[in-house]
Amino acid sequence: MPFELPELLYSFDALEPVIDAKTMEIHHDKHHAAYVAKLNDAVAKHPELGSKSVEELLKDLNNIPEDIRTAVKNHGGGHANHSLFWEIMTPKNRKPSTVLSEAINKTFGSLDKLMELITVNGMGQFGSGWSWLVVSGDKLKAYATANQDSPLMNGDIPILGVDVWEHAYYLKYQNKRDEYLKAWWNVVNWDEVAKRFEEAA
Ligand code: MN3
């Protein structure tokens, strides 16, 4: 079964004015679609991989045949990262649940401090990448990755991630990644992040 581009759960303009409709359309229909197509091209060369999920492929990258390992890392990472990204955004932003809030307060001091850390990590990521909140063992951690590298490759479970590739923000924010990251918090779907946290914990 080939990998498929997931449908957005909201319209392209739903996250306006934080993320403009044109950016959403190109990002989902062109960028994400290209990762899916190239991932399918890669796994088609190795039918023995069967029906593994993209998460399973990324967790076990060392056992992926060498001729497609880089493609799975880049395009599988791109597919997994964007699939999460669409779901952890919403026009109906609310604060995190109690369970997640308590874990955030315990690890980072407060939600504001966590948001600041993820923003700083995103600003500090030179070139393209992502800034993440992950469940690592029984801990929460925040860090950035380069390119489309997924936290799954480190054995961690991503529960929130913000795309800091220029394609995610350039049309509206141009070089001002800091303004994009600051505004982005207004569209975070904390209910979905909390759900992922509870599943991972
Ligand atoms: Mn992207």
pLDDT digits (tens, 9 = 90+) for 161-182: 999 999 999 999 999 999 999 9
Examine the pLDDT at 1 and tell me if it is beyond 70: no
Ligand 1 centroid–CA 79 distance in Å is 9
Higher-scoring residue by pLDDT: 92, 156: 156
Could you say which of 3.90.226.10, 3.55.40.20, 3.40.190.290, 3.40.50.2300 is the CATH number of the domain covering 98-200?
A: 3.55.40.20
Ligand 1 centroid–CA 5 distance in Å is 13
**Residue with tokens 């919403």, as numbered in its chain:** 90
Q: Are 161 and 57 in contact (CB under 8 A)?
A: no
Q: What angle do CA 79, 150, 72 make, to 5 degrees?
A: 55
First to last CA, the chain: 29
Global pTM reads 0.96
Phi and psi torsions of 94, nearest 5°: -130, 165
Give the count of beta carbons closer than 10 Å to the beta carbon of residue 88.
21
Task: Answer yes or no: same fold for 21-87 and 98-200.
Answer: no
pLDDT tens for 50-77 read 889 999 999 999 999 999 999 999 999 9
pLDDT tens for 127-174 read 999 999 999 999 999 999 999 999 999 999 999 999 999 999 999 999
The CATH H-level (homologous superfamily) assignment of domain 21-87 is Fe,Mn superoxide dismutase (SOD) domain (1.10.287.990)
Strand partners, 141: 134
What are the boundaries of each domain within the chain? 21-87, 98-200
Ligand 1 centroid–CA 183 distance in Å is 17
